[in-house]
A and B are shown apart, each in its own frame.
Chain A
């Protein structure tokens, strides 16, 4: 049982020499096996939350705490956070020229599990994970994210999640840019890992459509850097019908 606790998190970014506060006191608790959806209008700080948890250097935590089973996540480097069991599926995965997917995945797997995977098992695991995500076998020999379509990039993110088996995954707008088929494949991948490993999921999305495939236990509405409303899956349905206008107006 793993628990990620976020308490009164304040985060700012520096632009043009001025620090601007994006997160203004976020409280959130996610445990293994739970799926939390964070929804909200553009610019409400959803992605900032994701990147702050992962430790992107662009974001400065000014106050608050993030702990994973009591361990101080904010004191960890980016790679230590990943090895502690956190995973961020990025909205815009980065190209790494000259580094093949298979080399990248094997290197990451070795770092995370502390030892090189047994080759025979590894090849089998990689193949079956790729088949599950309907990825061609030549995918492994391509360079990381180089020339990938939007859908391929997202599948590649979920492939990593499948193989690295984190305790807790943050999916940052994984649904954006996906057609219906790709969305279904990606969602099935997430559900599969969840069922296999009891993964906790923090699903960040602008739209409700991915919630038809990945059922959330909790929905948090994010407005202006903090949680404006919380509820169960029914809250997502309400957002589907009403949009975010209510919150934006109230916030203004």
Chain B
């Protein structure tokens, strides 16, 4: 599919012709009654509108052309269904930073990625390792990617990628050991398009491991065949200087099970989109995430679960910790329950633990419901600091402050780590988390229990506007 847009030069104007089929460009065959321009009855807008939250949202740009009927209103991006998906970078204007999908990202740190790398520059190598001869590892051509880019960086990456690899598992085959895909940066720009294609009734775990240094943009398309069972673990274990903007799209077949685990510990900036869609009934997805931002680090995870088929389930659980000045994490959890998605059940959860002053966690769950005929839908988001009472309890049993914090943080992450299911990886990640906590303790003199202070040092939390139990637009719980 393609989502062409019109009139880039006409940015700032909204005189879109609703009769032009090329402009009725919501992805797929969404029932567009809710975006019917005629019913909107709106007058042409001005170049900028005041968003609901007071942000000035420019109407300029192709990304917003898709929501043409709403560009005149105060809601700039009314439905996730209306966002542009396109392989053509020119379908996405270079963002200004005021767009809903970019407003949390420090654009100056990703700006390079809006334009293609120099010809021949490829600073990221890809090695696929598996001991199963039935697993195919082949190159695919441009245009054969499975991911459908949802922003300019992903479109640039996919269209200009110098490495395009497909890992294919045939139908009715169980891959016993995890397939490893090592993406190693050697400094400089890199763009990679991966396809993970698992046939019907098959089962596989794929570990995508990002290490080294790079200014990297990547797309990963995951095809989960009917009744297949697929786990993708993506580790962002970059060096401290790396930049990574990535998009993972999973397309789930009938009765399939899909698990995605994103672990972002390294890099200067990581921004990941994880999108899940369903092509048949009875499929289930679970998306887990773990992130730990240090001083100056920006770690952003954006989830979009598109319930496009009946009787499917989705569960999203992301947990993050932050420490140090200007550590910033962003979690966006969008769930769209389309009209046809009757009988589905969805829940999403984000928890953040702010360990020191000066860190910021943004958390925005969004639930869009187009049918009431569902089993359940809910979300929760909470951001807090160390719990004084937990620390007191542990210390009252003789456990030193640093050790007490370690127990609390590892306990906090435990449920996500357990999902990875690859022991060597879990151990490696545990080590990184422990090292982070040790480093922080060395930097923070209040942690020094030799001082014999009677009050445990409890950092002050700086949390976002969406700090606790945030609900955007829809009720916290919806059950029918």
Chain A residues packing against B (C-beta within 8 Å): 54-57, 74-83, 88, 90, 93-99, 103-104, 107-108, 111-112, 143, 160, 164
CA gap between A79 and B398 in the complex, in Å: 4
Top 8 closest A-B pairs, CB basis? A98-B411, A98-B414, A82-B398, A108-B397, A78-B395, A99-B411, A94-B393, A57-B455
Q: Quick one: which of B367-422 are within 8 Å of A by CB?
A: 387-390, 392-401, 403-404, 407-408, 410-415
Residues of B within 8 A of A80 (CB): 449, 452
CA distance A54 to B394 in the complex (A): 12
Q: Smallest CB-CB separation from B413: which chain A residue?
A: A98
Closest to B410 in A: A98
Q: Would A107 and B449 be within 8 Å (CB), given that A93-B393, A96-B408 are in contact? A: no
Cβ of B454 within 8 Å of any chain A Cβ, yes or no, is yes
| Chain A positions within 8 Å of B454 at CB level | 55, 57, 74-78
Interface centre among A75, A83, A108 (most CB of B within 10 A): A108
Q: Are B392 and A78 in contact (CB under 8 A)?
A: yes
Interface, chain B (partner A; CB < 8 A):
387-390, 392-401, 403-404, 407-408, 410-415, 449, 452-456, 458
Q: Which residues of A contact B388 (CB under 8 A)?
A: 57
Q: Report Cα–Cα, A224/B453, bound state, in Å.
A: 29
Alpha-carbon gap, A79 to B408, bound state (A): 16
CB B347 to nearest CB in A, in angstroms, measures 18
A164 to B394, CA, bound (A): 13
Which B residues are CB-close (under 8 A) to A99?
407-408, 410-411, 414
B411 and A77 form a contact (CB under 8 A): no
B407 x A96 contact (CB < 8 A) = yes
Q: List 26 A-B contacts (CB under 8 A).
A: A55-B396, A57-B388, A57-B455, A77-B452, A77-B453, A78-B454, A79-B395, A79-B399, A80-B452, A82-B398, A82-B399, A83-B398, A88-B396, A90-B393, A93-B393, A94-B389, A94-B390, A94-B392, A96-B393, A96-B407, A97-B412, A98-B413, A98-B415, A99-B407, A104-B397, A107-B403
Besides the contacts A81-B396, A82-B398, what 9 more A-B pairs have beta carbons closer than 8 Å? A55-B454, A77-B453, A78-B456, A79-B401, A88-B396, A104-B394, A108-B394, A112-B397, A160-B397
For residue A111, which residue of chain B has the nearest CB? B398
Determine how close the nearest CB of chain A comes to the CB of B471; give it in whole angstroms.
Answer: 23
Report the minimum CB–CB distance from A155 to chain B (whole Å): 16
The smallest beta-carbon distance between A67 and chain B, in angstroms, is 15
The residues of A that contact B458 with a CB separation of less than 8 Å are 57
Decide if B396 touches A78 in the complex (CB within 8 Å): yes
Residues of A within 8 A of B398 (CB): 79, 82-83, 108, 111-112, 164
Residues of A within 8 A of B412 (CB): 97-98
CA distance A80 to B452 in the complex (A): 8
Alpha-carbon gap, A178 to B448, bound state (A): 39
Q: Contacts A79-B449, A90-B393, A94-B390; is A108 near B399 (CB within 8 Å)?
A: yes
Closest to B391 in A: A78
A50 to chain B, nearest CB (A): 11
Question: Which residues of chain A are within 8 angstroms of B411 by Cβ–Cβ distance?
Answer: 96-99, 143
| Residues on the B chain within 8 Å of A55, using CB | 396, 454
A76 CA to B400 CA, complexed, in Å:
12
Contacts of B396 in A (CB 8 A): 54-55, 78-79, 81-82, 88, 90
In the bound complex, what is the Cα–Cα distance between A238 and B453 (angstroms)?
Answer: 43
Which residue of A97, A98, A164 is within 8 Å of B397 (Cβ)? A164
B437 to chain A, nearest CB (A): 14
Q: How far is the CA of A108 from the CA of B400 in the complex (A)?
A: 9
Most chain A beta-carbon neighbours within 10 Å: one of B398, B404, B407: B398
Q: How far is the CA of A91 from the CA of B411 in the complex (A)?
A: 23
CA distance A78 to B454 in the complex (A): 6
Given that A99-B411, A143-B411 are known contacts, is A82 also in contact with B395, CB under 8 Å in the complex? yes
Closest to B452 in A: A77
Distance in angstroms from B49 CB to nearest chain A CB is 43
The distance from the CB of A148 to the nearest CB of chain B, in whole angstroms, is 13
- What residue of chain B has the Cβ atom nearest to residue A57's Cβ? B455
- Closest chain B residue, CB of each to CB of A74: B454
CB distance from B30 to the nearest CB of A (A): 40
* Interface-central residue, A76, A96, A111, by most chain B CB under 10 Å: A96
Contact partners of B401 in chain A: CB under 8 A: 77, 79
Distance from B38 Cβ to chain A, minimum over Cβ atoms (Å)? 52
